[in-house]
Structure 1
Amino acid sequence: MEPTPTPRPHPSPDAPLVTVHGEAHHEVDPETARIQITVNARGTDRRAALADLTTRNQRALDLVKSYGEAIEKLETGSFSITPQLTTKGRHERVSAYHGTVRTTVTVADFTALGELTTRLADLDLTTVTGPWWALRPNSPAHRDARRQAVHDAVRRAREYADALGARLVALLELADQDADTGGPLPRAAGTMRSARFAGPDDDTPAALDLEPQRQSVYAQVSARFTITRPEL
């Protein structure tokens, strides 16, 4: 036989109800940075354009993979090869083919980020966009914010009880308000297109200095407590 559950207290003149909200808001350093690589190729011959695109994309992927454990995730987002038409004359004709591959890279080691983005931007017909700073979904920062929100709710409830000459008796309900945002809306630092940067030996591009963007973490809970009879 299952044990009989303990009766849940209900508000009454001898056990009034107090309802409060608890909040927590703080800023923490980001844990990951995402950049998007867009590789392009263009030519009058479809197969030649596709071959150029494949070669350039593989060169970019090899460069990213060379950073080993600094790379947390590498994902190809989209690929396209598009004929570009000309309307000169009586008939539409294909004047060129434009190919594009977009890849998203998640970087966990920020010490490699500036060098990687600069070297990628130095590749032919390659555009680098980002970074977008973020926290991981299971980041301890989210847990800490929720814990602080609960502590804030208890503190507020106790202050109300103290103002009435009473004390907290029991927690009736605790609800998460789903307000943990995990950070600000993604914001890219900028876009870098393929170009040559003067390095120490004029062959190696100088690494960009990228400062991580602090992430805002917010949590909110609502709680209901019963308190002892107030001394009014």
Structure 2
Amino acid sequence: MSEILIKVRGSHSVEVAPERGVVSAEIRFEGASPEPVMERLQRGLHGVRTELERLEQEGAVERFLVQRVRTSAERPWNQDGKRLPLVHRASVGLAVEFVDFTALATWVGRTAGDEGLQVHEVSWRLTKDSRLKVERDVRQEAVRQAKVRAQDYADALDLGPVAVRSINDVGVSREVAYESAAMAMPAAAKFADAGSAAPDLAFDPDDITVYAEVEAAFTVATP
């Protein structure tokens, strides 16, 4: 009795609502002297840290990370090709993981009124446990789909049940996009009305698409 080798691909994807929003931000100041620049950075960081600690206690923030302070100094060139006086810079990066997306939008919107603070990016993700479970389920369903496809070919030839010979994991991918009702203003932006409040943003993240694909080989006996 001989065997026929059937090679197929199987894939599966699901869409899952994001569970965390991670904000990447930076506090940055510059000036002619290093001491005043560092003092402004420390004051700005203290205010931001106090606000984030409050949000963390309220449960809106899962955690936040303050990176190490970076300093630099350089003499820039003007448009006429002349060296300008020395400029000192100091900055510190922030990563904030939000659980409450409404609080995230409110905080990002209000950063427009904080001198020296600028939001660079908002990314959306699942918790580690959810991600591992979803990826496992998607991979397993991709294998099942490969087996169904191989059996379809065997049935078309009036053969019996297929048996797996090998499986190659092509990979798992995660993609997510989001839309917002407004764009964050630069940290240096000034409001025309000094009494006006910073705008709240309305983020509407799309679902995260988790996709898996496998290559599989099956055998089926011939009469």
The 3 A distance-change label for structure 1 pair 78 and 85 is same
- What's the counterpart of residue 204 of structure 2? 211
Conserved 8 A contact 1:38-1:103: yes
Name the structure 1 match of 2:43. 55
- 1:125 positional shift: 1.9
**TM-score, normalised with respect to structure 1:** 0.77
Instruction: Determine if the alignment matches structure 1 residue 128 to structure 2 residue 116.
Output: no
Alignment match of 1:182 (pick from 174, 183, 194): 174
Residues 171 and 197 of structure 1: is their aligned pair in 2 closer, same or farther, counting only changes over 3 Å?
A: farther
Q: For the residues of structure 2 that align with 1:102 and 1:20, how far apart are their CA atoms?
A: 47
Aligned residues: 211
Q: Percent identity?
A: 25
What is the TM-score of this pair, normalised by structure 2?
0.79
Distance 2:144 2:179 in 1: 35
- Measured after TM superposition, the shift of residue 169 of structure 1 is 4.2
Largest Rg, 1 or 2: 1
Q: What are the equivalent positions in structure 2 for 1:63-142 lying under 5 Å apart?
A: 63-68=51-56, 69-77=59-67, 79-85=69-75, 94-136=85-127, 138=129, 139=131, 140-142=133-135
> How far is 1:86 from its partner?
6.4
Structure 2 unmatched runs, 5+ = none
Q: Which structure's residues are more often helix, by fraction?
A: 2
Does the aligned pair in 2 maintain the 1:142–1:182 contact within 8 Å?
no
Aligned amino acid, residue 46 of structure 1: P
**Quick check: 153-162 or 37-46, which moved more?**
37-46
Match of 2:142 in 1: 149
Deviation at 1:71, TM superposition (A): 2.0
Instruction: Please give the alpha-carbon distance, in whole angstroms, between the structure 2 residues aligned to 1:99 and 1:222.
Output: 51
Do the aligned partners of residues 197 and 209 (structure 1) sit closer, same or farther apart at CA in structure 2, a change above 3 Å counting? farther
